[in-house]
Amino acid sequence: MKINYKKAFEKILLIRKIEELILHEFNKNKIFSFLHLSIGQEACAVGISMAANKSDFFFGNHRSHHHYLAKGGNIEKMIFEVFGDRRGCCGGIGGSMHLIDKSVNFQGSVPILGSSISIASGMAMSKKLEKKNSIVVVFIGDGSAEEGSFYETVNMAGLYNLPLLVVIEDNKYAVESGHNKRKSKDYNFKKIISGLGAIYERCNGQDFEKIYKTTLKMKKKILNKKKPGVLHLDCLRFARHSGAHLSKKDQLAKYRVKNEHIKIKKNDPLNIILNKHLNNKIQNIDKYILKLENNIHNKFYRVFNKIKLKKI
Ligand SMILES: Cc1ncc(C[n+]2csc(CCOP(=O)(O)OP(=O)(O)O)c2C)c(N)n1
Ligand SMILES: [Mg+2]
C-alpha cells in the first residue's frame, strides 16, 4: 500500500496554519462568536478523509474546521463564515460551528452535542436503501459519546446494519472535565460498543499513518460485515476548549493531567509525519515548509482582506 505522506503533511499544515491565522485575527478584532480550534487533532480528520472515498459523507460537530477542510470544503467560504460575512458557507449567520459544503459531501457540522450522530444514521439508512457502497462518517468528541443519543443511535445502526462510522476524537476532556469526573471506574467502552452490535477499534489519533490504516480496515469491515463501526482516537487538544487562546497557560492548567504540555510537544501530528516519513526524503525541508506556509498565509489574507468586519 503506497501512502501519500506528503499530501497528508500538507493537509495537516493547511488546517494548522488557517486556524492559527483565524486565531490571530479573532483576537485582534474581537469577533462575537464561539471558536473551537482543532489544533493538535488535525490528523484525525486528515487520516480518515484520505482513507475514505469522495463519495463517502461526513458530518461534523462544534469543533469541525479540520473535518471540513480535510474533506475538501471550500476554504474561502469557511473563512467568510467564521468572520460573519454573507459570502460564508452558511450565509455568515452560523459562524465557526456551522460549516457545510455539500459539493464535497461535507453534510454539515452541528454544535448540539450528540445530534449529528442521529442525523448521520438517517443518511446511512438512505445509502443502505439505495444500495450505494458509500459510508457515512460522523465525528464526535469523548464528551458527546456520553449523550444518550450516541448509545441509541449505535444500537439502532447495529440493528439495521447501517454503513455508519462514528469517529470519537477522545481528547480526554469535555470543556474542562476529564474522564475521571464523568465515568465509572468500570466503564468499558469496547464492551459497550460490541454489545450494541458495532465494530470497535482504537488507535493513536496523533499519528496519521495509524488512523489511515485503521480506517481502511474498518471501512472494509463495515461494508463487508454490514455493521456500523466506532473508531476511538486518542488525541490531544493543544488549545483551550473554546475562544481564541493557544497559550501554555491552558496546557499547564489544573484540569489537565500532569505533564500534558510535554506530551503535547512530543506528539504534534506534523512532527510525527516529518520524523517518521519525510525528514530524510525531502531535501531542504525547512524551505519546503516555509514555502507552504507562505502560500497558506497569502491564501488566507486574499479572502480575509475582502471582509468588512462588524465591530462590536
Ligand atoms: C447538548 C449540548 N450540551 C452542552 C453543550 C455545550 N458544550 C459545547 S462543547 C462541550 C464539550 C464537548 O466535549 P467533547 O464532546 O469531548 O468535545 P471536545 O470539545 O472535547 O472536542 C459542551 C458541554 C452543547 N453544545 N450541546
Ligand atoms: Mg473532548
| DSSP sequence for 76-139 | HHHHHHHTT-TTSTTTTSS-TT---BGGGTEEEE--STTHHHHHHHHHHHHHHHTT----EEEE
Q: Parallel, antiparallel, or unpaired: how do β-strands 164-170 and 136-141 relate? A: parallel
* Measured distance between the N- and C-terminal CA atoms of the chain, rounded to whole angstroms: 52
Question: How far does residue 139's CA lie from ligand 1's centre (Å)?
Answer: 12
Residue 162 within a domain? yes
Question: How far does residue 294's CA lie from ligand 1's centre (Å)?
Answer: 34
Residue of 33, 41, 62, 177 to mutate, ligand 1, most atoms within 8 A of C-beta: 62
Residue 309 within a domain? no
Q: Which amino acid type is present at position 93?
A: I
pLDDT in tens, 88-143: 999 999 999 999 999 999 999 999 999 999 999 999 999 999 998 999 999 999 99
| The pTM of the whole model exceeds 0.95 | yes
Instruction: For residue 167, list its beta bridge partners.
Output: 139, 231
**How many structural domains compose the chain?**
1
Question: How far does residue 177's CA lie from ligand 2's centre (Å)?
Answer: 9
pLDDT in tens, 156-209: 999 999 999 999 999 999 999 999 999 999 999 999 999 999 999 999 999 999
Q: Which amino acid type is present at position 280?
A: N
- Cα distances (angstroms) measured from residue 246 to each of 37, 65, 125, 312: 9, 16, 40, 23
Single out the residue of 87, 21, 90 nearest to residue 60, CA to CA: 90
Query: Which atom of ligand 1 lies nearest, measured to the CA of 141?
Result: 15
Residue 205 within a domain? yes
CA angle 30, 31, 32 (to 5 degrees): 115
Q: Which amino acid type is present at position 18?
A: I
Residue of 38, 66, 113 to mutate, ligand 1, most atoms within 8 A of C-beta: 113
CA angle 94, 54, 125 (to 5 degrees): 75
Distance CA 207, CA 285 (A): 20
Give the domain CATH number at 117. 3.40.50.970
Q: How many helices (H) and strands (E) does the chain have?
A: 12, 8
At 29 the pLDDT is 80
- Protein residue with least CA distance to atom 3, ligand 1: 113
Residue 312 within a domain? no
Residue 311 within a domain? no
Question: How far does residue 295's CA lie from ligand 2's centre (Å)?
Answer: 31
Task: Give the domain extent around 171.
Answer: 5-304
Residue 64 within a domain? yes
Residue 274 within a domain? yes
